[in-house]
């Protein structure tokens, strides 16, 4: 069971929503307003972590990775996040920023497949 959200994480997630990356903006244009037939939230706090996009109804988390995910310390954090989310029953799919740039339709097809 996911614990109540801390005020600090909630505040940080709000700031992330107000300052999205270009890749988050591009993907959000396709996810918002039930465009894929499912409701998504962005920069959502789950436990001690903030996920880029989440569809609660299908227990699907979408994470976008860029250069900040390359350092080894970041990989450890991402792994802990992955373990937590899987324990909570979420399926996680990850995309690199360059995938959003070069093949948004392929990304959307993978998301649709994960939703079904």
pLDDT tens, residue by residue, 50-109: 899 999 999 999 999 886 545 565 778 888 999 999 999 999 999 999 999 999 999 999
**Stronger pLDDT, 2 or 34, i.e. the higher one:** 34
- Listed in sequence order, the residues at least 6 apart from 71 whose beta carbon sits closer than 8 Å to its beta carbon are none
pLDDT at 37: 92
Task: Return the exposure string of 51-82: e unless at least 16 CB atoms fall within 10 Å of the residue's CB, then b.
Answer: bbbbbeeeebbbbbbeeeeeeeeeeeebeebb
- pTM equals 0.84
Q: Which band of pLDDT confidence, cut at 50, 70 and 90, is reported for residue 2?
A: low
Q: Which domains does the chain have, with CATH numbers?
A: 7-115 (3.40.960.10)
Q: Which band of pLDDT confidence, cut at 50, 70 and 90, is reported for residue 16?
A: confident
Helix boundaries (H) for the chain: 7-18, 22-31, 72-87, 97-102, 104-115
Do strands 60-65 and 91-96 pair parallel, antiparallel, or not at all (unpaired)? parallel
Residue 46 and residue 88: Cα distance in Å, rounded? 9
Is the pLDDT at 14 greater than 80? The verdict is no
Alpha-carbon distances, residue 78 vs 8, 20, 48, 102 (angstroms): 20, 19, 12, 24
């Amino acid at each position: 069971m996911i614990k109540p959200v801390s005020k600090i994480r909630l505040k940080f997630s709000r700031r992330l929503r107000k300052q999205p990356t270009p890749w988050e903006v591009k993907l959000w244009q396709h996810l918002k307003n039930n465009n894929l037939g499912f409701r998504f939230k962005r920069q959502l706090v789950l436990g001690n972590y903030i996920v880029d996009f989440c569809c609660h109804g299908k227990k699907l988390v979408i994470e976008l990775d860029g250069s900040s995910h390359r350092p080894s310390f970041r990989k450890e954090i991402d792994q802990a996040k992955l373990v937590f989310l899987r324990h909570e029953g979420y399926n996680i799919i990850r995309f690199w920023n360059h995938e959003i740039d070069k093949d948004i339709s392929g990304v959307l097809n993978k998301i649709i497949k994960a939703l079904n």
